[in-house]
Structure 1
Amino acid sequence: MSATHAMPSNQETIFTVDPVPLKYGHGALAEIGDDAKAMGMTRVALFTDRTVGGLECVATARKALQDAGMEVLLYDTVRVEPTDRSFAEAAAWAQDAGVDGFVSVGGGSVMDTAKAANLLSTWPDELMAYVNAPVGAAKPVPGPLKPHIACPTTSGTGSETTGVAIFDLPERQLKTGISNKLLKPRLAVVDPTATYSLPAGVVAATGFDVLTHAIESYTARPFNSREKPATPLARPPYQGANPWSDGGALEAIRLGGTYLERAALDPNDTEAHDFLTFAATLAGMSFGNAGVHIPHAMSYAVAGLNHEFRAKGYEREGGMVPHGISVVVNAPAAFRFTADACPDRHLTAAAALGADITDAAPDDAGEILATRLAEMMRKTGLPNGLTEIGYTDNDIPALVNSAWPQQRLLAQAPKPVTEDDLADLFRDAMRYW
């Protein structure tokens, strides 16, 4: 693999693959009792949120656990788009409950909250001790966590396959997170029927998270463009694009390009929902290995600075910018910027997404990919850039100041990114059509 970044003298030559075991298919949720029992669970924390907690998927999971002899303790107050405070509250509850395993049934917020509660109740410390530098102290996770079975109910975040837990830090007006392979769930149980009741707006928002995950991991800097670590254990969770992550990312892009619009526009198109759910898990496996870059770094600023926007499908949650929207509103601008670093990959991604690349020149790659993404956003009712979320050019300095600390993500881009570049990208992301 070629690399855009200058090759260091002590060049990395190795990438590692540590995927979460996956169970996928209709009826998978009904089997989690046996899965939990095989892991030695007896007293289980069942994490969900108030909305999902009233749905059949949670009742199915609870019954399966109880039928297998588990004592089930329900935590159904997970905050959608969690904060440092909601993570700490969940961790305190888990520690007091004395559970020996976790099952999360919900979207990324639920799964990430279960990861944080597992970490902080198993290895107690201040949350910021574990948070990624430079925002937090980046303390390594001291050792293994309790078993966690993650069961997504949205076709988007891929959190069931990753060692990442993301939250909002309101006092600093930014989003950040914890990243460590020990946070990975012990098993991902993906039952696509759990997504059938999602509102169209949620399908669209989370589905675009799938696409941006996949395109970012496919276009990330190559794994062999960085220096070899001092020890094998020091290899970062986000290793850069590699042959293993490329396969899953490209297939996720293809599936998203084929099925996202269908799933968002027709709640009865179960085939589309099934394949979009599988694409979400594939994208999660890929970006959890290779990493994401500029659109996600920008997204943490977009979501962290705006708590007034009310997105379609999320009205019950109050003012916030859902994660998938906060990511994809930056994506066309970001991919225009990164395309000259690896135009072949941007063209390949555009073709997988459904764009016509016949006779396309390398210089066309960014615009073709950006245009196809914007077209899909428009067809599925997503905001037309940052202006429709409530931002103006006057907000660009604050957005840059909030995004710039996300160096863990910006470092994964296929070309260097400066603060001036970020300002230009936020300006380009204001409107697309």
Structure 2
Amino acid sequence: MAGGRERVTHMLKQLYRASCMCPAHSHNYSQSIEKVVSGKTEYAFEMSLSNIRYGKGVTKEVGMDLQNLGARSVCVVTDKNISQLPPLKAVLDSLTANGINFQIYDNVRVEPSDQSFKDAIEFAKKREFDSYVAVGGGSVIDTCKIANLYASSPESDFLDYVNAPIGKGKPVKATLKPLIAVPTTAGTGSETTGVAIFDYKELKVKTGIASRAIKPFLGIIDPLHTFHMPERVMANSGFDVLCHALESYTALPYNQRSPCPSNPMNRPAYQGSNPISDVWAIHALRIVSKYLKRAIKNPDDQEARAKMHLASAFAGMGFGNAGVHLCHGMSYPISGLVKNYKAKDYNVDHSLVPHGLSVVLTSPAVFTFTAPMCPERHLEAAQIMGANISTAKMKDSGLILADTLRKFLFDLNVDDGLAALGYSTADIPALVKGTLPQERVTKLSPRSQTEEELSALFEASMKLY
């Protein structure tokens, strides 16, 4: 009997050794999984996007979307300007036609502040909304994202989710309500991203919240809405698209970023340039190069404005996952420290440097600085924007792109550098100080920078032409 057991045991052992050990065929497969150790260089990237719907007049479907979601109480977020224009009427008509109950919050601040965010949060917390609709530009969409976030996480302190080192940068674990974004500008791409930017008044600097959890459920891109944009709003929105494309394409490659997260939920929204974001960035840059001037100079050019609306979304798909770097990092104190500058065509009662303008004014200096790290990408961008590179040398790629950008901006009557906005060399230390906390984006620059180098970049941006 004992000998029989031994023979059976021996046979089973032989069968086990001879069996296929791959996970597809074996029930015995086991593998020690190497734990991802935080601190090492990243090895993966992740694409996260809103659903996107595009078409002239497609706004009429938003009521049906909310009906399909079973919405019973909707918060419609907009600003005072948009509240008087056809885009909001189109949304409200659709909601009414489909029997959707809604309340309107129209007190969004153009270039939001921490206080304007808190005002919207307070409005949302006092009501039990089960969905949100944002109708407007990036300021409106970002405000709506934040109202949704904190109303869905009412116990959270405002700084809990704000990017470190200004805030605590905690991951968002709350389940948010569906948010449908209806962009009326062709610039931020906020309808595609999990990012919301605001002025933090205490430090006089811009910062934000970045999490995949806050991205819209759906972005409805209706090119009819861009026909209401004034000339300078169109221009400054377009400059944001331009820099989104250029910065995400030239950002630090994702597999050079560190630390590698110990858990995928901690992988940041901005991950570095990657093969998929690259496709969207280059496509957006081609559209901007071909259509932005037309869209600015002729507001009746429906083709150009429709193309720019798509370019905004395309660039958003790219930078929303790859990230931006120095132009944006340096732009935040430029906007936050504004003195008396008031941009043309913006109906606001406060000093304002529009986001796209604050970003693009440093672009010639920035891309001259970053070019040595990936010269071929800078040269490719210059070629797309119209530069003749047939005899160009790779070492000159930054200067070529910078000159191409200056000509582009000059042709579009852009202010002659930071000095035209009221800044001087005496302001550079404060501008540098405001840039230093922007590590979420500055660390995505392909070239690291010292305080002295940042000072030199601001100095070089005081005058463009």
Note the 1:88-237 alignment, pairs <5 A. 88-124=118-154, 125-227=156-258, 228-237=260-269
2:107 matched to 1:77? yes
Q: How far did residue 307 of structure 1 move?
A: 4.1
Q: Distance in 2 between matches of 1:95 and 1:40?
A: 20
Where does structure 2 lack aligned partners over 5 or more consecutive residues? 1-37
Output the CA distance in 2 between the equivalents of 1:315 and 1:100: 32
* Structure 2 counterpart of 1:345, from 368, 377, 385: 377
Deviation per CA, 1:251-304: give whole Å up to 9, x if none: 000100111111111111111101011000000110000000000000001000
Please report the TM-score for the alignment, with normalisation by the length of structure 2: 0.90
Q: Which amino acid aligns with 1:26?
A: K
CA distance in 2, matches of 1:194, 1:236: 32
How far residue 423 of structure 1 moved from its aligned partner, in angstroms, is 0.4
Between stretches 372-381 and 321-330, larger displacement belongs to 372-381
Counterparts in 2 of 1:307 and 1:52: CA distance versus 1, 3 Å: farther
Residue 410 (structure 1) aligns with: 442
Displacement of 1:9 after TM fit?
9.4
Helix, strand or coil at the partner of 1:150:
strand
> Residue 32 of structure 1 corresponds to which residue in structure 2?
62
Conserved? CA contact 1:307–1:321, under 8 Å: no
SS of 2:170's equivalent in the other structure is: coil
Q: Out of 349, 357, 361, which is 2:389 matched to? A: 357
Whole-Å Cα distance in 2 between the matches of residues 43 and 66 of structure 1? 12
| CA-CA distance at 1:365 after TM superposition | 0.9
Q: Distance in 2 between matches of 1:245 and 1:144?
A: 27
Amino acid at match of 1:122: S
More deviation in 346-355 or 387-396? 346-355
Specify whether residues 14 and 199 from structure 1 end up closer, same or farther in structure 2 by C-alpha distance, changes over 3 A only: same
Report the 3-state secondary structure (helix = DSSP H, G, I; strand = E; otherwise coil) of the residue aligned with 1:172.
Answer: coil
RMSD: 1.3
User: Structure 2 counterpart of 1:108, which letter?
Assistant: G
Q: 2:458 aligns with which of 414, 426, 429?
A: 426
Deviation, 1:317, is 4.4
**Which letter does structure 2 place at the counterpart of 1:23?**
R
Aligned partner of 2:363 in structure 1 is 331
Q: Which shows bigger deviation, 228-237 or 413-422?
A: 228-237
Find the counterpart in structure 1 of residue 400 from structure 2: 368
Task: State which of 257, 266, 289 in structure 1 corresponds to 2:298.
Answer: 266
Q: Which shifted more, 40-49 or 335-344?
A: 40-49
Aligned to 1:4: none
Measure how far apart 1:10 and its partner are: 4.1
8 A Cα contact 2:81 2:347, kept in partner:
no
Deviates more, 1:28-37 or 1:249-258: 28-37
| Paired AA for residue 229 in structure 1 | P
- Residue identity matched to 2:309: T
- Paired residue secondary structure (1:49): coil
CA distance in 1, matches of 2:275, 2:162: 29
Q: Percent of aligned positions with the same letter in both sequences?
A: 45
Once the two structures are TM-superposed, the CA of residue 39 in structure 1 deviates from its matched residue by 2.3
Residues 42 and 69, structure 1, Cα contact 8 Å, conserved in 2: no
**Is the Cα contact below 8 Å between 1:166 and 1:178 reproduced in 2?**
yes
Q: Is the 8 A contact 1:245 1:287 kept in 2?
A: yes
Q: What amino acid is the match of 1:255?
A: I
Looking at CA atoms only, which structure, 1 or 2, has the larger radius of gyration? 2
The Cα shift of 1:38 comes to 2.0
Given residue 171 of structure 1, which amino acid in structure 2 is its aligned partner? E
Deviation at 1:333, TM superposition (A): 0.8
Equivalences, count = 426
| Partners of 1:11 and 1:416 in 2: CA distance | 16
Q: 1:341 to 1:203 in 2, by over 3 A?
A: same
| Runs of 5+ unmatched residues, structure 1 | 1-7
Where 1:167 maps in the other structure, the secondary structure is: strand
How far 1:233 moved relative to its partner? 2.1
Single out whichever of 52-61 and 350-359 deviates more from structure 2. 350-359
Q: Deviations over 1:68-101 (max 9, x none)?
A: 2210101111111111111011011011122111
Matched with 1:321 is 353
Q: Tell me the equivalent position of 1:311.
A: 343
